[in-house]
């Protein structure tokens, strides 16, 4: 069984992003970039399935600028077997990424595609769902447990107030939630090994996909600054403020 894992290069989750002065987006010049955390979980899950003898090959794919190769090398160091960079300097929106992934699904014929539930830069939570629709595959989003058996995948999903378990026929699309697993630390020997693993580069045009943006960002603004707090003398004053000022009681 072959597993395809799309990984996105995003601003590291520890970085406090700054909005550009013209409000056109966030400043990513000279900022630490890393693999989207949900995608790390996706790679970990795919590699565990390989280690368990369920999967035979794990392919990592990233769409974006040439530096996304670093993200792919991290995926290879976690344990992916090979990587594909779909290189483009254009802004790639979720629909464009989903179309690119659909073209790769057609080419590579994976039995399972495991994506992150969302990219922490655009917070879209769209790509997996769009890919499933375009490729006409069943999907299970927000997975907290994945079990592959008898040609099906059983996915436990985190839903409001509990857990839901669904069973999908393969091939299928799964998106990861935070509690699916804890990704391993990437060790130096594995980083060295990853340098020798195959990494192929293609362009969107090679896959016959038009990636031009369909959405226009009108404005990006900083969240409002928090006002200073006040001290209240006693509980009665606090309750009074919560009731009459904040109106939350």
Binding site for ligand AMP (CB under 6 A): 6-8, 36, 38-39, 62-64, 92, 94, 97, 115-116, 118-119, 122, 124-128
Query: Which position's Cβ is nearest ligand AMP?
Result: 116
* β-bridge mates for residue 164, sequence order: 157
R_g (Cα) of the chain, nearest Å: 21
Q: Closest approach of Cβ 51 to ligand AMP, in Å?
A: 21
Q: Closest approach of Cβ 241 to ligand AMP, in Å?
A: 39
Residue 37: closest CA among 3, 66, 7:
7
| Cβ–Cβ < 8 Å for 138, 172 | yes
- CB nearer to ligand AMP: give 63 or 186: 63
- CB nearer to ligand AMP: give 215 or 249: 215
d(CA 229, CA 90): 44
Q: Closest approach of Cβ 174 to ligand AMP, in Å?
A: 11
- CB nearer to ligand AMP: give 119 or 148: 119
Q: What stretch of H or E contains 239?
A: helix 235-244
- CB nearer to ligand AMP: give 86 or 186: 86
Q: Is 150 left (phi over 0), alpha (psi -120 to 50) or beta?
A: left
- CB nearer to ligand AMP: give 156 or 176: 176
How many helical (H) and strand (E) elements, i.e. helices and strands, does the chain have?
Answer: 6, 11
d(CA 36, CA 98): 16
Q: Which token pair is 150?
A: 């008898």
Q: Closest approach of Cβ 93 to ligand AMP, in Å?
A: 8
Q: Closest approach of Cβ 243 to ligand AMP, in Å?
A: 39
């Amino acid at each position: 069984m072959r597993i395809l894992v799309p990984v996105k290069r995003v601003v590291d989750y520890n970085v406090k992003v700054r909005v550009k002065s013209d409000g056109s987006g966030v400043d990513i010049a000279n900022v630490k970039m890393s693999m989207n955390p949900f995608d790390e979980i996706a790679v970990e899950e795919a590699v565990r399935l390989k280690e368990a003898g369920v999967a035979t090959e794990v392919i990592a794919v990233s769409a974006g600028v040439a530096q996304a190769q670093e993200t792919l090398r991290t995926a290879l160091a976690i344990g992916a077997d090979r990587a594909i960079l779909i290189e483009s300097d254009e802004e790639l929106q979720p629909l464009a990424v989903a179309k690119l992934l659909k073209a790769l699904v057609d080419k590579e014929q994976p039995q399972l595609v495991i994506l992150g539930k969302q990219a922490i830069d655009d917070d879209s939570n769209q790509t997996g769902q769009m890919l499933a629709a375009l490729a006409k595959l069943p999907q299970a989003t927000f997975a907290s447990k994945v079990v592959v058996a008898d040609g099906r995948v059983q996915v436990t999903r985190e839903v409001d107030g509990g857990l839901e378990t669904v069973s999908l026929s393969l091939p299928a699309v799964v998106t990861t939630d935070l509690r699916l697993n804890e990704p391993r630390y990437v060790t130096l020997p594995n980083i060295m090994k990853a340098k020798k693993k195959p990494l192929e580069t293609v362009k969107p045009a090679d896959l016959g996909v038009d990636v031009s943006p369909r959405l226009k960002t009108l404005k990006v603004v900083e969240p409002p600054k928090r006002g200073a707090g006040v001290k209240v003398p006693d509980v009665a004053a606090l309750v009074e403020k919560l009731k009459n000022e904040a109106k939350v009681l």
